[in-house]
Chains A and B, each alone.
Chain A
Amino acid sequence: MTMDKGRNTGRYSKRAYRVIYLSILAMMLVAIGSAVIFNNLKNRMPDIEQGVTEEYDGHFAFIVSSDDEGFWEGVYASVCEEATKDNIYIEDMSKSLGVNYSDTDLLRVAINSSVDGIIYGGTTNETAAALIDRAVEEGIGVAILQNDIDASARQCFVGVNNYELGQMFASQIAEIISGEEEISKKSVDVLIDRDMSEGASNVITIAIEDYFTENYPDYPIPELNIIRINSDDAFSVEDDIRRLFLYEDMQSDMMLCLSSIHTQCVYQSLVDRNKVGDVQVVGYFAGNSILEAIEKQIIYSTISVDTEEMGRDSVKALKEYMEEGYTNSYVPVSTQVIGYDQAKLISGQLGGGE
């Protein structure tokens, strides 16, 4: 009897010992576990003072007009993609600064910051030209996109030649005329940026006239009205174009737009003023809204510029300049006319893609 009881007590002592032993073990494990958790927690925390400064092989400033965001977004993406390959940092100056600076202000800041190159697609006025000259003087490569500043000492222009652009517009005017029952002389408004030089605008008009003379000698050469649109601030383009429809008697049969923002504003004004069909519009850039307008036949067609090519070539040109000290002064960019059929096709592809 005593022995049995003794054995029971033994079992109890053993059990108690095991529980105590396990408890201590559990405490130890919890202590170690919590230390690991805390360490993980600490490691997951942001390093405030121990960041590693990234090193870049180059630093290009990207300064473009704030009006045409849709167009420039495509270019910027391509620029960044190309620059990444060579570990070059592209700084979108308008975004990195917390204040609203004009294109020329940004140019000045970029020059003072001693960047390695500037990709510029902004205002083409004299101030800009002077700053570009200063940049070039200080050894900073400058690639101009879209609208060239002939007067400046820029290294390279990447975009569409104005003459070529004029010819493309002319082909569209001819197409519209040929589609009508009766061939008549047309009045065409050509919307250009206010800062565009006289010479540049003349090249466009000459190109249109040349096209008709060479290709459609039977057609009357259209009457071209150069209309300069103010793009000094964010809303001036929209105001100018709206005013065009509001207060001026619309005599023209067609409108040619030389920028994406002009095309969009014209399209919006046509809808707002109920003038769809009254004026045939040939736009610029194939953004979603413009393609939609073509599909709805509000806009006749648009000249699409390959933004990817534009961005890629601009970086290549600047890199070449950095490495070789020279580069091509003109790099043409592919263009394409997008009419109703193509717009439908592209929308279909985009829709299918989704």
Chain B
Amino acid sequence: MFERIWNKASIQSKLMLAFFIPIFVILVMNVYMYLNVNTMIARINEVYDSNVRLSELAENLTAVQNSMREYLENKGTTALNEYYRADQEYRSSMENIGSSYTGTMTIMQKNIQNQSARYLEVVDETVQAKRGRNVEGYRTGYEEAEQMYADLQNCIYSLNNEQFKINSDNYYILLSSLRYMEVISIVILLFIGVVNILALFLLTNSMTRPLIALSKAADKVAGGDFDVDIETPEVDDEIGKVSRAFAGMVGSIQLYISEIRDSMSRESRMKESELMMQTRMREAELRSLQAQINPHFLFNTLNAGAQLAMMEGADKTTEFIQNMADFFRYNIKSIDKDVSLNEELELVDKYIYILNVRFDGEIHYHKETDDSLGEIRIPSMVLQPIVENAVNYGIRNIEWEGHIDLKTYRVGDMVHISIADNGVGMTADKIEKILSGDGIAADPDKNDSNGIGLGNVIERIRIFTGREDVMDIISEGENKGTEFIIKVPMHV
């Protein structure tokens, strides 16, 4: 709990606490030690009090004895008053000699009290005898008092002596205790001091360390290096907040830079792709232009031929020439535009018709299409080159009846256009070469070709769809035919 409070506390509070607690502890310790030492000194001062009191008692006793003697000598009022005063003082000092004695000293004290009472009685009787002019009485009394005085003095002296021995022992014990206490005090203060310094060092270090790290990181960031390590202390004070904010800021900047980089990289890839497409288009256009030299002339010629045939009533010839004219018209359209699947299928129909007229119906063409897919967009001039390839390299020279099957169908979001022949088939190497782009380019010298190779077709479909996997070529081996499957998405 304290740790949580500590972590959340502000620097000011922490510093206040860090300074306040040691100061408070040291202050309390000092006051406590001061009080102890003072008490002890006071007790040391009291050690010999009992001796002082006993000495006063002895002095007062002497005063009683002297005043009595003086009165006996001169019977003066002053001496009498002095005697009464001394008597009172002696009695009061008797009461003050204390009651802290033990053992032998208790008994000695009791002896002194009893002897004193008896002595004062004798002295009083002596004084009264003097006042009553009883010469014999006061002489005897004086002798007795003198004797008792001497005994009392000896007893007080003995008690004082005993007390002094004990007091001296006490004095040395107190003195050594005082020294011991002083040493302990110094040791404790030193210990607390060292612990304080250590605690303050660690505290300030825990505060400045993240600051120093932060300033180093800031320097790096200022120098343009955003890949810095930001120390984020767990504490929730100002330094913690600043460190986290700075770390967050640097993180954001890093993220932003990274996003910009990605975006630039994407843009660059797009440009590259665009350039590539343009290159392919140009190449196709070039091929197309080469191919258009004859079609333009042929197209006009064919139109004239069609009109002539129509005038002569030769319907089949008219149809043939009309199909030829449509084929070439499609061929000279701009190749860089996309067309509908239906348009491409029509072109294939016309191409097959022309070929069948040429080769006397050798090519058995079968089409199975999904009408709903007729309007999807695909690049122009992609199906005819494949059909042309199937005719020229698939079924041209086979011994058996040549078939070409064209199918369109849907697989999920994809539209598959399959062109299959039952010709000589393809080896896996060749398939691999065609798909990797090393494949067969159109042979422009060949009279039957419109000049567009399979590589060009595949590349244009890839660019158009933005996908790599746009064509499968399946052949089960020699004389087992070949199937080309074009895969285009429903929506590009």
Contact = CB atoms under 8 A, between A and B. Distances in A.
B104 A91 contact: yes
A309 B22 CA distance: 71
B151 A112 contact: yes
A38 B107 contact: no
B231 A5 contact: yes
A2 interface: yes
Interface string B187-217: 0100110011011001101100110010000
22 contacts: A5-B230, A6-B232, A6-B247, A9-B210, A10-B234, A12-B209, A19-B199, A20-B202, A21-B2, A30-B191, A34-B32, A34-B185, A38-B33, A41-B177, A51-B102, A59-B107, A91-B107, A96-B158, A98-B162, A109-B151, A112-B148, A114-B118
Contact of A9 (B114, B155, B167, B213): B213
Given A20-B203, A24-B199, A50 B174 contact: no
What secondary structure prevails in chain A residues at the interface with B? helix
B115 A109 contact: yes
A14 interface: yes
Interface of A: 1-2, 4-6, 8-10, 12-14, 16-17, 19-21, 23-24, 26-28, 30-31, 34-35, 37-38, 41-42, 44-54, 56, 59, 89, 91, 96-99, 101, 105, 108-109, 112-115
Contacts of A16: 202-203, 205-206
Contacts of A99: 154, 157-158
Given A38-B33, A97-B155, A98-B162, 5 more contacts: A10-B232, A12-B233, A34-B32, A54-B103, A97-B158
A112 B115 contact: yes
Nearest to A115: B111
B113 to A, nearest CB: 9
Contacts of B233: 9-10, 12-13
B195 A23 contact: yes
Contact of A2 (B46, B98, B102, B230): B230
- B interface, size bucket: 35 or more
B463 interface: no
B115 A42 contact: no
Contacts of A23: 195-196, 198-199, 202
B181 to A, nearest CB: 6
Given A2-B232, A30-B188, A49-B98, A17 B104 contact: no
A109 B100 CA distance: 23
Contacts of A38: 32-33, 36, 181, 184
B439 interface: no
B442 interface: no
Contact of A49 (B40, B100, B157, B191): B100
A57 B185 CA distance: 47
A25 B230 CA distance: 32
Chain A to chain B: the 3 pairs with minimum beta-carbon distance, closest first: A113-B111, A16-B206, A51-B100
Contact of A46 (B18, B28, B170, B192): B170
B184 A34 contact: yes
Contacts of B256: none
A53 B101 contact: yes
A108 to B, nearest CB: 7
Contacts of B230: 2, 5-6
B393 interface: no
B231 A20 contact: no
A50 B170 CA distance: 13
B181 A98 contact: no
B110 interface: yes
A13 B206 contact: yes
Given A98-B154, A98-B161, A45 B173 contact: yes
Interface in B100-147: 100-104, 106-108, 110-112, 114-115, 118-119, 147
Contact of B115 (A20, A48, A113): A113
